[in-house]
Amino acid sequence: MSSVKKRIIIVEDEALIADHIEMLLSDEGYTVVAVLDNADDLFNVLNTQSVDLILLDINLQGSLDGVDIAHQVNKQYKVPIVFLTSNTDKKTIDRVKLTTPAGFIAKPYTIADLISNIEIALYRATEVIKPAITQEVSEKSIFIKDKSTLVKLMYADIAYAEAMDNYSVIFTDEKKYIVPHTLKSLAELLEPEGFVKTHRSFLVNAKKISAIHPKAVQVGTKEIPLSENFRSTIISLFKTF
């Protein structure tokens, strides 16, 4: 772990569990900013202090549960969230998925589960994809990790990207790269540069589209799925006769 102490908030309404987690995190070298049991106190802390991660239960005091809180945190604070909960039913999991959490730990937890989820979430948060800084505005690119090397990848060379759970696979004409970011985060970066969704799991460089089939778009020799929801948007990008 980095020598810089990461700042974590624990949001847990079971006092014994909260105290145990606080002790474990302190022993591991983290700074526990606060131990809370409701949304109002959490937002008060987030408004006044810098935080690196929130460890969040779902059953809490007050009108907002953990999933409601996660949606608001995503909108206002952009702090990564790791859920720690005994709620593992399908309905709850479906709600949790919509918040795109950085981690999910089911109670009863182990120390290894707790620390590994936190470490991975913190690592991913520091590896946010950013546009490369270039002297020429027209040279738009990103640096991505390829094993132990940072590779400069021009936007124009990207053919498409495909979602793979909480990761994405970026395809060029010659190679593919797996990056630890959701397709949603890639879309936020690339859509202003002429990339379009053709399907909830695919983001395509519009300049690479050579044909539009009833249920797919052609990109080189690859047919990318085209959902009915995106079809009219894709067709509107091109002149048709």
Q: What is the pLDDT of residue 45?
A: 94
Structural domain containing residue 210: 141-236
Assess whether 111 and 196 both reside in one domain: no
Task: Find the CATH number of the domain harbouring 80.
Answer: 3.40.50.2300
Assess whether 13 and 120 both reside in one domain: yes
Other beta carbons within 10 angstroms of residue 214's beta carbon come to: 7
Q: Which of 138, 141, 184 is nearest to 161 (CA)?
A: 184
Q: Is residue 149 part of a domain?
A: yes
The count of domains in the chain is 2
| Pairwise CA distance, residues 82 & 114, whole Å | 9
Other beta carbons within 10 angstroms of residue 30's beta carbon come to: 21
Q: Which of 50, 31, 41 is nearest to 69 (CA)?
A: 41
Q: What is the pLDDT of residue 149?
A: 75
3-state secondary structure of 37: coil
**Per-residue confidence in pLDDT tens, the chain, 241 aa:** 445 689 999 999 999 999 999 999 999 999 999 999 999 999 999 999 989 999 999 999 889 999 999 999 998 888 999 999 998 899 999 999 999 999 999 998 889 989 999 998 888 776 554 444 444 444 588 888 776 678 888 999 999 999 987 788 999 988 998 887 888 888 988 998 899 999 999 999 999 999 999 999 999 999 999 999 999 999 999 887 7
Domain boundary residue among 126, 155, 189? Answer: 126
Q: What is the pLDDT of residue 180?
A: 78
Record the pTM: 0.55
Q: What is the pLDDT of residue 147?
A: 66
Domain boundary residue among 92, 126, 160? Answer: 126
Q: Is residue 219 part of a domain?
A: yes
| Pairwise CA distance, residues 196 & 86, whole Å | 38
Torsion of CA 15, 13, 23, 55, to 10 degrees: 180
CB neighbour burial string for 94-133, b if at least 16 within 10 angstroms, e if fewer: ebbeebebbbbbeeebeeeebbebbebbbebeeeebeeee
Assess whether 158 and 221 both reside in one domain: yes
Q: Quick check: 30 and 6 in contact, CB under 8 A?
A: yes
